[in-house]
Chains A and B, each alone.
Chain A
Amino acid sequence: MGLRGEAAIVGIAEWKPERRPTAPPIFTLEQWAQLTREALDDAGIDPAEVDGICATNIRESDSFVPSTITEYLGMQVNFAEVVDLGGASCAAMVWRAAAAIELGLCNVVVIAAPSWPSPRPPNPPNGPSSWRYGASSANYGSPQAEFDIPYGNVAQNCGYAQIAMKYGAEYSYDAEALAKIAVDQRVSANHNPSAVFHNVPITIEDVLNSPMISDPIHMLEIVMPCVGGAAIVVAGKDVARRSKHRPAWISGFGERVLHKTPTYAEDMLSTALIPAADQAFDMAGRSREEVDLISVYDCYTITVLMTIEDAGFCPRSEGQPFVREHDLSFQGDFPCNTHGGQLGFGQAGLAGGMSHITEGARQVMRRGEDHQVPDADVAFITGNGGLMSEQVALILEGD
């Protein structure tokens, strides 16, 4: 079952994340057009060759998203997909694109995550924004609206903190080990001029002395919200062979979707990544030992810790000593989030999740510049949506 590894990431566009936008708002459709152009230019592929798109939500239309985009771009496609898996969306789009290409449906697929602010309408409608409670839905009939939001169980910090607290109660909690994840990733960010925290080193003490936001999670263990945007081009092997760069072949994937609110998890510590990672490694025919770097979703430090365990790089409950024993920076013995991760690079909306893919691809393409892992050939990537409950694993490989 699965992919043959005959589709590859061949082009990348990525806008530098910014904490406060230094340029005016741009409509999502305009961002789509610009990001697509930049990613195709990067690959050396003509826009006329695009015959597939994968999108997430856009501001200009609540439904009919793909046709709104293709019409705007003047493209006619054989494959049009909308993915709604939060932070896992971009990784989920990558395997969908690869699968569609290997099925012969299409040959060049653009995946975009426009995350720059859009202009506000001149007469904004009254009423609270649908994002008043973050990713929690306050819509009528929503279980979250009725059973979670009234108790303040809203958005992300609370749920991840509950998971971290449960982890500590079940195993043990080594706050310094968790903090070291943010510190090691910051080393990589300090070698990445695109990172929002470029040239801002931190220590374990800095992390532990930063304000407690939601016990046991400190401020410096939480991603910095940013604006930005990213896109990639996925192509079949003939196109990939004539593209500008060393292709990053998509050789394995897994996807698992469980629940939205961790309260209702069957087991809060048994994440959706466990089966997804196993499937990805089996499909690619790769072992954990063959992985040169991991580029894994890091909305919080606890996410990285549990990802290292659940992806099988160390046994359950042994992540904290593992992190203490390994250097996670790009120059270390277990390179993890070599762009700085979203903790160091910044989380520009869904483009934050895309950054793990662009970085994994860049490393395999040998385009990592100052933060290149030597001889990087195999990258393990995750996307994580909801609260550890929507997980996608990918394996990218060089030739």
Chain B
Amino acid sequence: MTADTPQRPPQRPLPTPIDRTQPFWDGLRERQVRIQYSPSSDRWVFYPRSHAPLTLADDLEWRDISGEGTLYTYTIARRPTAPDFTGDEPQIIAVVELDEGPRLTSTLVNVEESAISVGMRVRPVFEDVPGTETTLLRYEPAS
């Protein structure tokens, strides 16, 4: 979809997938955004769960999506949000609303601060964390 971002040192906190969520992380490794869908409630779901929110239907199934969406909101952290992120500031911490509806936490890359605006179109950037099996889902402007 897009080129990978530059490599970063791997001492940042990384996700530890559980069986339930592994398909999402496997998808990212394959350059694919894959989230859950509940046919009975006709609703897309993120983050991955055992049961659909509110209806508690147990019919969640994995489906591939484009991963594209809009920037719901963001902040630019001028101080590290935790000691583990020292050196990463400014961190552009985003909430992305997927076109299917659910929102997720990410960071914006490949963008000037002045070019960021709530509601802008964004697309996935897959970042393989060196020396690990983890791929993180970051976002950049779609145009």
Q: Which residues of A contact B (CB under 8 A)?
A: 132-134, 138, 140-141, 143, 145-155, 157-158, 161-166, 169, 211-217, 261-264, 268
Contact = CB atoms under 8 A, between A and B. Distances in A.
Interface stretch (B36-44, B56-64, B72-80): B72-80
Contact of A166 (B21, B73, B83, B88): B73
Contacts of B138: 151
A154 to B, nearest CB: 4
A161 B72 contact: no
Interface residues of B, number: 37
A172 to B, nearest CB: 12
Contacts of B84: 132
Interface string B69-94: 00011111111111111001001010
Interface of B: 12-18, 21, 47, 72-85, 88, 91, 93, 95, 103-107, 117-119, 136, 138
B118 A147 contact: no
A140 B91 contact: no
Nearest to B82: A154
Nearest to B117: A169
B13 A150 contact: yes
Contacts of B85: 152, 154
11 contacts: A133-B13, A146-B15, A151-B93, A153-B105, A157-B75, A158-B81, A162-B93, A211-B78, A213-B79, A263-B95, A263-B104
A151 B21 contact: no
Contact of A215 (B75, B80, B82): B75
A155 to B, nearest CB: 6
Most buried by A among B21, B78, B79, B119: B78
A330 to B, nearest CB: 32
A298 to B, nearest CB: 19
Nearest to A211: B78
A114 B140 CA distance: 45
Contacts of B136: 150-151
Contact of B77 (A147, A149, A158): A158
Nearest to B20: A141
Contacts of B80: 152
A146 B13 CA distance: 9
Contacts of B14: 150
A268 B13 contact: no
A152 B15 contact: no
A211 B119 CA distance: 27
A140 B18 CA distance: 8
Contacts of A153: 81, 93, 105
Nearest to A141: B18
A134 to B, nearest CB: 7
Given A151-B93, A263-B105, A169 B81 contact: no
Contact of A146 (B12, B17, B81, B118): B17
Nearest to B113: A215
Most buried by B among A141, A155, A158, A163: A158
A157 B13 contact: no
B47 A212 contact: no
Contacts of B105: 147-148, 151, 153, 261, 263
A9 to B, nearest CB: 37
Nearest to A136: B82
B34 to A, nearest CB: 14
B130 to A, nearest CB: 15
A152 B106 CA distance: 8
B103 A264 contact: yes
Nearest to B18: A141
Contacts of B117: 169
> 8 nearest interchain CB pairs?
A161-B75, A169-B118, A166-B73, A146-B15, A215-B76, A154-B81, A153-B105, A154-B82
Contact of A214 (B15, B17, B47, B77): B77
B16 A146 contact: yes
Nearest to B106: A151
B77 to A, nearest CB: 5
A152 B104 contact: no
B107 A152 contact: yes
Given A146-B17, A162-B73, A214-B78, 8 more contacts: A132-B83, A133-B82, A146-B16, A152-B91, A154-B85, A165-B73, A169-B117, A268-B73
B77 A146 contact: no
B15 A162 contact: no
